Amino acid sequence: MDLRLTSGQQRFILLLVSLLAVCVNAVALSRGVTTIYSHVFYIPIILASYWYNRRGVLFTAALSAGYLALVVVLAPDPAETLPEACARSGVFLVVSGVIATLASSLSRKEQRYRTIFEHIGSATAILDKKGRIRQANYEMETILGYPGSEMVGRKLTGFIADGERSRIANYLAGRMQGRGFVPAQCETLFVRRDGGCVDVLLTIAGAGENEGLVISFLDITEKKKVERSLQETRIFTESIIANVPVVVYSLDRSLRPTFISPKSRDLFGYGPGEFRDHPDLWEGIVHEDDRHARRHIIDRINEGRPYSVEERVVRKDGTVRWVHNSGSPTLDETGAVLRVDGSFTDITNRKEAEEEHSFLASIVESSDATIIGKTLDGTILSWNRGAERNTGYRADEAIGNHISMLVPEDRTGETEMILNTIRQGKRLEHFETQRVRKDGSIMDVSLTISPITNAAGRVIGASSIGRDITERKKAEAQLRSYARDLKLRNEELEQFAYVASHDLQEPLRMVASYVQLLKRRYEGRLDEDADEFIHYAVDGASRMQLLINDLLAFSRVSTRGKPFEETDTETLLGQTLRNLKIQIEESDALVTHDPLPVVMADTSQLSQVFQNLISNAIKFHGSDAPRVHVSAQQSGDEWVFSVKDNGIGIEQQYFDRIFVIFQRLHSKAEYAGTGIGLAICKRIIERHGGRIWVASEPGEGSTFFFTIPIREVGDHV
């Protein structure tokens, strides 16, 4: 509560007290009582001197004069002598002067203090011991928006935001109890009269022992805003650093890492802490072959220039990665390096792609083939060394020209056909054509042309790989001519064999019948030699007949072959065994078989194969009775038949020979035969597109295998 009096109140009180003093003294003097009542004058004198200072002394003088007048007029002698009254008035003036001087000095001090309080520059308030505001300056009124009268008497905590109130109340209470005047600071939030909030920095100091507190505060709303925005920027930066796929780093002036972003764990396998704890790691991770790159970086930093290098680093797990290391130094005012900021980017994938690309490029370059890249309209884009060698054009002569420069005049339509195929995204494989060299000569080429697509899958050009097949073409033409000759000769030979065996039959039949006639008529009628000669002649003639018949049968395999038809080999085997009934019975043979398939074959020829093989299997038996087993298994796109016996077997060195016409391993006396059976089998099987071979060991029996390709009815043979 402000106890200060207004000037009107002061004047009224002073007048009242003065009148009272005059009246009291007038009464006292008139009754002869003096001194004691004159002391009453001290009251208005003190008040006047205190309130009005020098003007108060004048008032005292006037009052003293009044007192003297009272003494003279009213006092009966010797109540107060005039000298005594003058001395008293002098005392009045001295007291008044002293009080006026003290009051004036006090008032100046207070004025100074008020000026400081109001113009201190920060909002300030004085709190009483209960935390109530005793005084608040203009600055505080401005910041909080309340007039001083509305603040005085209220608790300071009443102006603090809800969430902060109890914290600050405790804080103030603590300060209130605390001794000493050391100011303390804290940040808090005030609520303005208009409801808005103000961030403030509160400074609290003790006002004196048991005197409450002086608080002052600065509006730090702007500073807080800046702090918040800095904080946001920091979070933003940290989140970027944590998420961008690069490792960010800072080095101090001695190029030791002071910061490295957490992504270092992904890239190097080492976390930021490991770099901090082991500064040598910074250099240590660089691949030993790339240490020179670091020296280059140091040179650039010392020159105060940015750097950018590609180097290999060895990760914690020993694997090697390629990185792009770039950064720049910050210099101080003297030009010395203050710090360096930079980043690592993983470029391993790009490097690998580059290596692969250069590897492929070197393959293309070193290839013997003509490898050309061209656009969709046929403009040549690339030309390898093979193209230079094979066409005679240098790369600089070809690149930029149209591909038709290589196309002979009679094939000009081909270029558009090829480009159209490529535009449709199709490939052209082993396209055989001709191209013209720079010297005008023509070469045979085999081209494989593929579309080139961009990342979006759109066809943007073509690659053409060409092989010079001039030599091969020549060789093929020669081969064809040989084959033609061979076929012709073969046909002639077959014809000859057929004609010879056919035409020889007639005269041979005559020779045979006459020598037999000779034998019938003259055997035993001439001498012994004649009988023997006749016997040889008969035998020779019949053997020659057999041979000629076999030869005829052999030549007929291809000349008299029938079209292939569905043939049930199991039925066919049955018929064959019926044909061989006598041989089987005579030799006590047992022929067994597995289920056998239906194949496309010349039935009578296949029957011949079965007959020859089974007949041989029985004929070439050993000491045991012949056991023959026929089976068939599918293997891929063919049937593999086998005829297995328990006969005498064959030595491996004869495996091929036995299939040659008239080749036998035994004399006629040992085993009858002409040596043509297997040759006929081979010829028949080859006519069917199959193979025939034998597996055997002497004394262990033999197994003859032959294959018949699986064909559908109507398949082209």
The rounded radius of gyration (Å) of the Cα atoms in the chain is 67
Query: Is 313 or 679 the residue whose CB approaches ligand ADP more closely?
Result: 679
State yes or no: residue 647 binds ligand ADP (CB under 6 A): yes
Query: Is 315 or 664 the residue whose CB approaches ligand ADP more closely?
Result: 664
Query: Is 47 or 650 the residue whose CB approaches ligand ADP more closely?
Result: 650
State yes or no: residue 673 binds ligand ADP (CB under 6 A): yes
Sign of the torsion angle spanned by Cα atoms 350, 355, 358, 360: negative
Alpha-carbon gap, residue 48 to 11, rounded angstroms: 9
Beta strand 442-453 pairing with 565-568: unpaired
Of 185-193, 286-294, 396-404, 642-650: span binding ligand ADP (CB under 6 A): 642-650
CB 345 within 8 A of CB 322: no
State yes or no: residue 51 binds ligand ADP (CB under 6 A): no
State yes or no: residue 645 binds ligand ADP (CB under 6 A): yes
Alpha-carbon gap, residue 242 to 266, rounded angstroms: 11
Nearest-approach distance from CB 663 to ligand ADP, in angstroms: 6
State yes or no: residue 33 binds ligand ADP (CB under 6 A): no
State yes or no: residue 677 binds ligand ADP (CB under 6 A): yes
- Give the residues across from 453 on adjacent strands: 459
E strand residue ranges, 228-379: 246-251, 257-260, 307-314, 320-331, 337-346, 370-375
Q: What is the DSSP string of 558-612?
A: HHSPPPPEEEEHHHHHHHHHHHTHHHHHHHT-EEEE----EEEE-HHHHHHHHHH
Query: Is 459 or 640 the residue whose CB approaches ligand ADP more closely?
Result: 640
CB 323 within 8 A of CB 344: yes
- With a CB cutoff of 8 Å and minimum separation 6, the contacts of 444 are 432, 433, 434, 468, 469, 470, 472, 473
Query: Is 104 or 703 the residue whose CB approaches ligand ADP more closely?
Result: 703
State yes or no: residue 650 binds ligand ADP (CB under 6 A): yes
Query: Is 468 or 645 the residue whose CB approaches ligand ADP more closely?
Result: 645
Query: Is 432 or 670 the residue whose CB approaches ligand ADP more closely?
Result: 670
Give phi and psi for 641, each to the nearest 5: -95, 150
CB 372 within 8 A of CB 463: yes
Of 2-10, 130-138, 151-159, 610-618: span binding ligand ADP (CB under 6 A): 610-618
Give phi and psi for 441, each to the nearest 5: -75, 155
Nearest-approach distance from CB 687 to ligand ADP, in angstroms: 17
Residue labelled with tokens 């976390």: 271
State yes or no: residue 678 binds ligand ADP (CB under 6 A): yes
- Give the residues across from 250 on adjacent strands: 259, 341
Alpha-carbon gap, residue 145 to 260, rounded angstroms: 49
Nearest-approach distance from CB 539 to ligand ADP, in angstroms: 17
State yes or no: residue 564 binds ligand ADP (CB under 6 A): no
Of 202-210, 252-260, 419-427, 676-684: span binding ligand ADP (CB under 6 A): 676-684
Nearest-approach distance from CB 588 to ligand ADP, in angstroms: 17
- Contact characters 373-412, ligand ADP, x per CB under 6 A: ----------------------------------------
DSSP state of 156: G
Query: Is 220 or 695 the residue whose CB approaches ligand ADP more closely?
Result: 695
Query: Is 325 or 702 the residue whose CB approaches ligand ADP more closely?
Result: 702
Residues 684-703 that bind ligand ADP (CB under 6 A): 702
Nearest-approach distance from CB 596 to ligand ADP, in angstroms: 19
State yes or no: residue 666 binds ligand ADP (CB under 6 A): yes
Q: Count the neighbouring beta carbons within 10 Å of the beta carbon of residue 588.
A: 11
State yes or no: residue 674 binds ligand ADP (CB under 6 A): yes
State yes or no: residue 614 binds ligand ADP (CB under 6 A): no
The amino acid sitting at 677 is G
State yes or no: residue 648 binds ligand ADP (CB under 6 A): yes
Q: Under the rule (CB under 6 A), what is the footprint of ligand ADP?
A: 612, 616-617, 620, 645, 647-648, 650, 658, 664-666, 673-679, 702
